[in-house]
Amino acid sequence: MFNGMGNMGNMAGMMKKVQKMQNEMKKMQDELKAKTVEVSSGGGVVKVVMNGEKTLVSLKISPEAVDPSDVEMLEDLISAAVNEAMKKVDEMMTNEMGKFTSGLGLPPGLF
């Protein structure tokens, strides 16, 4: 005989699993937002610290990087460090979320 409740029980169980997974993913995303990456450019004369929300937390510039006759070089060093920090945050997010979603059979890059 067909028991219609069997499918409903499976669906309820699946929904609980999905809800648990969503909660765990949210927790992981919150933890990643609190993590930071540090990047330097120009051999360390410009240092940038950025959090997982891509907010610039810290910018340090060594005095030897400040040349009034070559402000453009300093601008380039800052831009390079900030851009590299954003790239590292993206990589951190992709790697950590990939660990979480690897067992789900989802296509790469979905999260």
Tens of pLDDT, residue by residue over 24-54, are 888 888 888 899 999 999 999 999 999 999 9
**Which structure tokens are listed for 59?**
């910018």
46-51 vs 56-61, strand pairing mode: antiparallel
pTM (two decimals): 0.70
Distances (CA, A) of 63 to 38, 46, 83, 84: 19, 10, 22, 22
Q: What percent of the chain has pLDDT over 90?
A: 51
CATH class of 32-100: alpha beta
H-helix or E-strand spanning residue 52: none
Let me know the angle formed at the C-alpha of 14 by 97 and 20, rounded to the nearest 5 degrees: 45
No. of helices (H) and no. of strands (E), the chain: 2, 3
